[in-house]
Amino acid sequence: MATQTRPRTTRTFTISFPPELAEQVDRAAAQESRTTSELFREAFRIYQVERTRLALAELRALANREGVPDYSEEDIERFIHEIRTERQAAKS
């Protein structure tokens, strides 16, 4: 009977650190009772959030330079509600 293999749910990366930095990584993981993999997953999530925040800040600055209004969250919610209402009315 053939054994079915499941696709992997993770990928493995190999990274290199100088010894001093590797010791800091090991200490940080131990202090937080995490594996090194968990530590790096969290670090990458934080990296992604920061990159997104910077990209949004650049877009806001560009919009301000171009004279695009700075909409509040309430404005956006109102716009979404208006568009959804218009679409529902068009379907009827």
Task: Report yes or no on 7 lying in a domain.
Answer: no
In a domain, 60, yes or no: yes
Instruction: Give the total number of structural domains in the chain.
Output: 1
Report the pLDDT value the prediction gives residue 39, as an integer from 0 to 100. Answer: 96
Instruction: Give the per-residue pLDDT at 1.
Output: 57
pLDDT single digits (tens) 25-79: 999 999 999 999 999 999 999 999 999 999 999 998 998 899 888 888 899 999 9
Q: Which tokens belong to 15?
A: 């990274």
C-alpha dihedral, 55 to 60 to 64 to 70, nearest 10°: 170
Q: Domain residues for 37? A: 19-80
Q: Within 1-92, where are the H helices?
A: 19-31, 36-66, 73-91
Q: How far apart are the first and last CA of the chain?
A: 57
Q: Is 1 within the bounds of a domain?
A: no
Domain contains 65? yes
Q: Using one digit for the tens of pLDDT, what is the confidence trace for 3-31?
A: 678 888 889 999 999 999 999 999 999 99
* 61 within domain boundaries: yes
Domain assignment present for residue 14? The answer is no
